[in-house]
């Protein structure tokens, strides 16, 4: 992002809209994916979206200024946002139930590998060559995906007549509501949330639009996304688990990266090598989950996933200034082993009793819920780090006083250290006070990160309890 900022003459606040634009448009398009698939057919819509995504990648690499980049990233989100739920739909639409677990294992492994390997590759390409290559390199998997979709999916009839029944009113409210909701999450911490009239107004408009959208979809006979699925016990609880999963997966990667950049001051490439350990072990763990699926109650498998994720977060609550690659590598391996127990099992279990007519809606709802969970999680964690840092600074400062013997001893030690370099006692004393304040702020920041890991661990502990309330799938009951 730093290199892109420089190339486009943007500051950090302006450049943040590059990611906000993509995320917002991607989440807006997800609920429409199932309906567009019915209208244009799965093969046509999937291949057209892939081509559109590839064209938008090239356009982003050629962006001439910040406004163009933001607009092109928004366009890329409209194409890219539908790819994951569409892959989900392809599995449900083209494979018999007995083959879906294998497909979901591959789907989950590749879905997780992309954001773990991607930063390492992106950092290396940017450091070695230029930031434009992070867009061009995506053409390779996108091109392979297009070839597989074009030759692998059978032609099916289109239902263009559905365009005459398009619910423009509902779509408009949904798009505006979700877009503004993501804007609130992205901009809220920067504007101090609801102390800002700007954020308050956006929240009110977003809430109104989303309420109208939900009301229309619940009252209409032929909704383009069946929100009533949330009311089904197993599916609703699975969505809650996936929401928490989104908070955990995106949130832990976010705070680990931020911690490594802020505290030990890792480079982007060094950060990505740590995060890679969240993805690599899943190549081994996912086949284990596949083997366990027909042999172990799915509810127990999801409980194991919640337990491992929760434990991995609680292992992070005692981080210190010395915490680095090796300590985080072990914790990330524990976390990585737990992820397939949720990433693979939840969608299989959630759709096990689903009618074929609802597969598209189920796919869109699950993936949208997970991504919204990630967006909400990152927004809350960002605010939490800021607020808890201030809290811990105040708390630690109470114990750092000139009346405290340990504080005075530390100040004397620092003063002597700086005096040896400058030979000016007053300057050395000022530097010692500044250094001590820096240490207080550093330790307070680390404690804030620990608090955030505790919060995520608590969320997954609640998820473990939620697994108890799931009904057992009939297929497993017969087994």
* Cα 32 off chain centre by: 20
Residue 304 has pLDDT above 90, yes or no: yes
Mean pLDDT over residues 170-187, rounded? Answer: 86
Which conformational region is residue 9 in: left (phi greater than 0), alpha (psi within -120 to 50 degrees), or beta? left
Mean pLDDT over residues 137-156, rounded? Answer: 89
Helix residue ranges, H only, 81-167: 83-94, 100-128, 133-136, 139-152
Q: In angstroms, rounded to a whole number, what is the distance separating the alpha carbons of residues 16 and 186?
A: 8
* Cα 326 off chain centre by: 24
CATH class of 1-166: mainly alpha
In the block, tokens 């096990």 appear at: 352
DSSP 132: T
Backbone angles phi, psi at 227, to 5 degrees: -70, -15
Residue 402 has pLDDT above 70, yes or no: no
In the block, tokens 């086949």 appear at: 287
> Cα 123–373–364 angle (5° rounding)?
100
Contact 282, 110 (CB under 8 A): no
CB-neighbour burial class of residue 327 (10 A; exposed 0-12, middle 13-18, buried 19+): middle
* Cα 304 off chain centre by: 21
Report pLDDT for 405. 64
Mean pLDDT over residues 56-65, rounded? Answer: 90
- Residue 327's nearest CA partner among 339, 315, 311 is 315
Buried/exposed 248-268: b ≥16 CB within 10 Å, e otherwise: bbbbbbbbbbbbbeebeebeb
- Residue with the bigger pLDDT between 262 and 381: it is 381
Q: Dmax over Cα atoms in the chain, in whole Å?
A: 85
**SS3 state of residue 232:** coil
Q: Which strand (E) or helix (H) includes residue 182?
A: helix 168-187
Of 55-59, 270-274, 282-286, give the range with the top mean pLDDT. Answer: 55-59
Kindly report the average pLDDT of the chain as a whole number. 84
Q: Model pTM? A: 0.82
**Domain layout of the chain by residue ranges:** 1-166
Report pLDDT for 477. 43
Please, which pLDDT band fits residue 350 given cuts at 50, 70 and 90? confident
Structure tokens at 249: 């997966």
Q: In angstroms, rounded to a whole number, what is the distance separating the alpha carbons of residues 87 and 89?
A: 5
H and E: helices and strands count for the chain: 20, 0
Mean pLDDT over residues 43-61, rounded? Answer: 92
Residue 237 has pLDDT above 90, yes or no: yes
CB-neighbour burial class of residue 81 (10 A; exposed 0-12, middle 13-18, buried 19+): buried
pLDDT in tens, 190-233: 888 888 898 999 999 999 999 998 888 888 777 778 888 888 89
- Residue with the bigger pLDDT between 190 and 50: it is 50
Contact 205, 180 (CB under 8 A): yes
pLDDT in tens, 415-473: 776 667 667 667 776 777 677 677 778 888 899 999 999 999 999 999 999 999 998 86
In the block, tokens 């250290």 appear at: 417
Structure tokens at 305: 């996933």
Q: Which strand (E) or helix (H) includes residue 2?
A: helix 2-8
Mean pLDDT over residues 398-402, rounded? Answer: 64
Q: Among 83-87, 222-226, 307-311, 423-427, whose mean pLDDT is lowest?
A: 423-427
Please, which pLDDT band fits residue 403 given cuts at 50, 70 and 90? low
């Amino acid at each position: 992002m730093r290199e892109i900022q420089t190339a486009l003459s943007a500051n950090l606040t302006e450049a943040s809209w590059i990611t906000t634009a993509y995320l917002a448009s991607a989440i807006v398009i997800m609920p429409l994916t199932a309906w567009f698939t019915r209208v244009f057919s799965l093969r046509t819509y999937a291949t057209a979206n892939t081509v559109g995504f590839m064209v938008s990648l090239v356009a982003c690499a050629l962006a001439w200024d910040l406004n163009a980049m933001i607009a092109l990233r928004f366009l890329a989100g409209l194409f890219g946002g539908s790819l994951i739920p569409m892959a989900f739909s392809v599995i449900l639409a083209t494979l018999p139930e007995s083959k879906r677990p294998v497909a979901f294992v591959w789907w989950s492994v590749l879905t997780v590998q992309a954001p773990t390997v991607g930063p390492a590759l992106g950092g290396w390409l940017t450091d070695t060559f230029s930031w434009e290559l992070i867009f061009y390199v995506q053409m390779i998997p996108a091109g392979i995906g297009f070839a597989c979709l074009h030759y692998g999916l059978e032609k099916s009839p289109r239902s263009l007549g559905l365009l005459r029944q398009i619910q423009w009113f509902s779509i408009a409210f949904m798009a505006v509501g979700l877009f503004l909701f993501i804007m609130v999450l992205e901009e809220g911490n920067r504007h101090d949330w609801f102390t800002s009239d700007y954020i308050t107004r956006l929240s009110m408009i977003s809430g109104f639009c989303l309420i109208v959208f939900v009301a229309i979809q619940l009252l209409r006979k032929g909704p383009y996304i069946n929100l009533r699925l949330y009311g089904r016990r197993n599916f609703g609880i699975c969505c809650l688990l996936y929401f928490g999963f989104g908070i955990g997966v995106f949130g832990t990667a976010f705070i680990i990266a931020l911690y490594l950049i802020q505290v030990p001051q890792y480079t982007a490439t060094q950060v990505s090598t740590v995060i890679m350990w969240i993805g690599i072990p899943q190549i081994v763990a996912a086949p284990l989950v596949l083997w366990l699926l027909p042999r172990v109650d799915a509810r127990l498998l999801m409980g194991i996933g919640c337990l491992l994720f929760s434990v991995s977060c609680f292992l992070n609550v005692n981080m210190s200034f010395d915490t680095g690659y090796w300590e985080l590598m072990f914790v990330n391996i524990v976390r990585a082993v737990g992820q397939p127990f949720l990433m693979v099992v939840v969608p299989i279990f959630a759709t096990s009793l689903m009618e074929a007519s609802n597969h598209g809606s189920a796919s869109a709802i699950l993936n949208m819920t997970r991504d919204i969970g990630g967006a909400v999680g990152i927004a809350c964690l960002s605010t939490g780090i800021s607020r808890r840092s201030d809290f811990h600074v105040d708390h630690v400062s109470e114990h750092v006083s000139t009346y405290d013997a340990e504080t005075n001893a530390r100040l004397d030690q620092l003063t002597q250290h700086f005096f040896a370099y400058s030979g000016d006692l007053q300057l050395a004393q000022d530097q010692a006070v500044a250094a001590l304040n820096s240490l207080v702020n550093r330790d307070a920041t680390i404690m804030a990160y620990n608090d955030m890991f505790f919060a995520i661990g608590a969320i997954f502990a609640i998820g473990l309890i939620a697994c108890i309330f799931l009904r057992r799938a009939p297929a497993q009951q017969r087994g």
